Structure 1
């Protein structure tokens, strides 16, 4: 029998595939359950943007046709919203697609990418797939007074050398929910060489209300080596359609577009994203639900004597001080899906997406029962 692993590019055999949150249908089929709640994949519990859903439905009669490969209308709307030009925007099948495009454009053998421990699992996968070296900076310690498990920018800067082509920074970070303040991040950007690109992954930025939280778009003119990525998968509730975007220097976006797959964003996704940009009421309700949910979950963990990582995303990570995988399995048996994060080197933690108030309550009740048993 042929050993196809012998044919792979360097580093591929050592990679572990990305593991998504368990689907409700799969769990209920396996265990014969019903009424399962899923708090695992950082989806919007209020559903999709109503305006986006209507717009996607309206174009379904035309899905025999290829979408506009240029994304002209959506890029035009995004340009209006951001004050940028359309040629400063690249569209992707989710922001993770844009991050992959950056890796494939700028990383290769002999080059490296820098990112923090406990950051998005796709950074090492994209880096290794491009043939480049992963340089992982130690995060701030668990007992750090202000930002436990957060990005240590000094440690990241120390790993940058003449072969560093990309630095990946998630703000807020997944799966920890930690974030970087404006002045600290700006100082970090100023200290980097111009030939080192920074991908500022802002997938959760619309949820954040902290006054010192930065908006990466404010710095695109000052830092031509900065690329900001955002998505419609989180607060806009369009995860199933897969649409995100990257913003930055027009020359950089032009280079990235050379490796972009044609028609990488489908027709319903383009229509839904364009319409969702106008759904201000839905975004307001989503933020309000998230703010209340973070408080509800944090209070519930405190009542159970469990430490959690302070979060500004739409999720919160809790330390169970025991095997998180075992608790995850017991929660599954009770119809509650959350996210184990042992693959992020957090074996005693679980990441919990903020749900509706009743879903948060059910999770906390089941967790208390599981821990007691």
Structure 2
């Protein structure tokens, strides 16, 4: 009998956010709201739609294996050489390539926890150890929600090859500031690659949260990871990219890519999106304004919500998390729960967020500040 590797057999299945149409049919309601996957609530950019239409007639050919047009556009945008840029099939695929490129079995990958849920899975597949460093509260007396960079630096050992710093952090929405991140990068040994995972960089409004590309300059062991899936609205096309200070790092990652993994359509869409930066900026500003409104509304209900620098908010509910998420889903609202820790809620349209708030009020009855463990299952709302 053929058996997969034990490490693969032990992997938990990835659980994407539920399809809202499926939930609506299940509940017998007209519509369900999905606030689980950190997508932007806008349709594709007009320039992207045009680029897809114009490129569709060429899809009988293989795409450019190196995504040269996109690589050149990103290099020009960030003032780096094309040899420093690696496009990929989403940032997640690039994370996997990084582990394949730098981790042998028995080495280690270090990261904060909780953070992006793929990090420990990548280590497991690579046969590497996970060095998980607990988060600390961003506010006195609050729940753990932000990186402890001193502890993360201390956790790096002689076997560590890769460190991920998710900034802003997924799922807790917080971000570390310039001075502490700079000190951290200076402490990490030159033989360890630090990847600043900035999937949500475009939503950052705190001027003290640094652009990772600025901190990368002059540090050969630092690379920055970004994506077109969030602010740029291309989640369905799977395009991410890595920018490395040392071209040798980029070359190593490029060697482990799956050939033709950035499709012809994805490259055309990403290039068109970059050319629509002004419109993207307007969309991001709308998300940020709605994020602030949603945060204020939740805090007004007595809930603990850290300052978000992403396009989602974090509710550190602890043990009642699963029950609250299930009760919200029963009311047609899909969120992303992390059992025993909290719920991540994507910033949607004002209408969608109002549906979420109304459902939350029904789930947590009584006066503002009702305890999450007072949750009642209830019935779906129409």
State the TM-score, normalized to the length of structure 1: 0.93
Which deviates more, 226-235 or 43-52? 43-52
- Distance in 1, matches of 2:319 and 2:106, equals 40
Q: Equivalent of 1:284, from 260, 281, 285?
A: 281
1:13 — aligned with what? 9
Matched, 1:237 2:230: no
Q: Equivalent of 1:363, from 339, 356, 368?
A: 356
Deviation at 1:75, TM superposition (A): 0.6
**1:28-39 aligned within 5 A:** 28-39=24-35
2:290 — aligned with what? 293
- Distance in 2, matches of 1:282 and 1:341, equals 33
Matched, 1:264 2:264: no
| Counterpart secondary structure, 1:59 | helix
User: Which runs of 5 or more residues in structure 1 are unaligned?
Assistant: none
Aligned positions, number: 365
Matched, 1:303 2:300: yes
Q: Any conservation in 1 of the 2:112–2:165 contact (CA below 8 Å)?
A: yes
Q: Equivalent of 1:150, from 146, 159, 164?
A: 146
- Distance in 2, matches of 1:71 and 1:359, equals 36
Deviation at 1:147, TM superposition (A): 8.9
- Distance in 2, matches of 1:251 and 1:85, equals 12
| Counterpart secondary structure, 1:113 | strand
- Distance in 2, matches of 1:115 and 1:195, equals 16
Matched, 1:317 2:310: no
Structure 1 residue ranges, 4+ long, deviating more than 6 angstroms after superposition: none
Which deviates more, 147-156 or 111-120? 147-156
Write out per-residue CA displacement over residues 211-233 of structure 1, whole angstroms, 9 at most, x where no aligned residue: 11111112333111111110000
- Distance in 2, matches of 1:274 and 1:319, equals 38
Write out per-residue CA displacement over residues 305-351 of structure 1, whole angstroms, 9 at most, x where no aligned residue: 11112211000011346522222222222221111112xx51xx211
Write out per-residue CA displacement over residues 281-309 of structure 1, whole angstroms, 9 at most, x where no aligned residue: 32222222222211111122122211112
1:206 — aligned with what? 202
Which deviates more, 301-310 or 92-101? 301-310
Q: RMSD of the TM alignment (CA)? A: 1.7
**1:80-159 aligned within 5 A:** 80-141=76-137, 144=140, 148-159=144-155
Q: Any conservation in 2 of the 1:328–1:350 contact (CA below 8 Å)?
A: yes
